[in-house]
Structure 1
């Protein structure tokens, strides 16, 4: 596994590299598809997880909100007749951007809790990641919370039985945001102090750009495949978010260079929450198929949820 050496590459450089990779495999790509959600009163569903098993069926957690608002709920959906519908009797959480992991057979679920100004209900004052655990969705109970303003905290069970934890401190010095890493022995050790003191992974983002981890996969060789996003703002204050991946060695705590793995034009056209969010893909989860391919689940333009089959981005990290 090639470790990341030297200065971080910009979104623009990484995107050019990705476009070159696409040119080299021309004819092998497939177009993404929009997932259809119903039963939510006309609200948008986006920033979904990949499907995960619960009580014998596949479930997706998704962010549900009105187009004109950021007051969202996280709901659990199951597929019925080609559409994803709210699961009967499943809990609903007042959170954004859900994620899941399985740690020693237990479901760990989380999302971002957002705090709004008391006088201006549209103004966000702060946010934090909150965590729930249980062996079934129906049994989820709160057990931990992250520091204020820290999103993108993700867990993965390691080969040695410990728990790897990726963090997203912001700011870090004069850098906008970076990814950190630590490990813990038990879920009870997931504390604000432990998260705040995680080691920062160097050389991943320019100071004016940012990114985070969205899902972590234990690979066959004990390394970790990280699905995430890298983002930047152009001169017109337009946001650009790209799904990305990198490999991480939890022993040496070194990372491979970041690679962009998808772009907006690979998915169907559709609405956006705002004009500055058209070019936003927010990685939700990855399902590896074991045949060299994987399905990426993604939020699109802060308004829809799509999926696409791509080359498995983690294969090279298992060599």
Structure 2
């Protein structure tokens, strides 16, 4: 029997990615709404209530409206917007966190983590659980991300005829400098921090791929832990995981003449964590595809679990 899937927001960046990844599967029937009627509330309601799984690939306000339209108790929702991510009635979809897989399997309402939040939480949560990092640590982080993370508007900004004439688009650009980035609440809640981190995202002139960086100072950690200690905790936490890998400690062999390679996980659902250090300085970096593990790949991984499939079915490792 095929499971019926409806992508509400099928023409956006994440919606298109999910459609492409599901369209070849024999166990899935993707329901397609006429593009001319995609904003028709009655038409959307029909598809929302016919589906076994609904992916919401919409702005927050539209996602909330879609949830209100669902009347079928058997329809299960996977939300990719930031709406509901900190709502405790919704399951937060990072299977690699301890205890999350079982909750995901039985979820009727699930939120896919934000792209920046994914790498951050996967690095911080194990350290807090192990007591290496205190919950009130004044944590800072920054990410370098491809422009596709901004969705269709970001892609159009960089991939149009006026790009060559714009000097500003050719260099990395800091943004969200008012420190109100929409991922901050989930980054604090699901990492276990008492306070939101000081987070600076940086958009650069390449399409996709994220490097999320977290610096730590061992002299203000509760156990004066070293970079090697941090690496050991992370490696043990994820040792049996398929999609999250902790790379060898101080991995000079994985650098390009000392330079970090951001895009090595592109077009996969893989996330790799690196730990570097010297004396009391510790630097943790995760790299992954903002359109893969940071968006559509994570959504499909969660769907697989919810439907009882192997969670890696159809995903590139």
Q: Normalising TM by the smaller chain, what interval?
A: under 0.3
Structure ranking higher in helix proportion: 2
Q: TM-score, normalised by structure 2?
A: 0.26
Greater strand share, structure number: 1
- Structure with the greater alpha carbon radius of gyration: 2
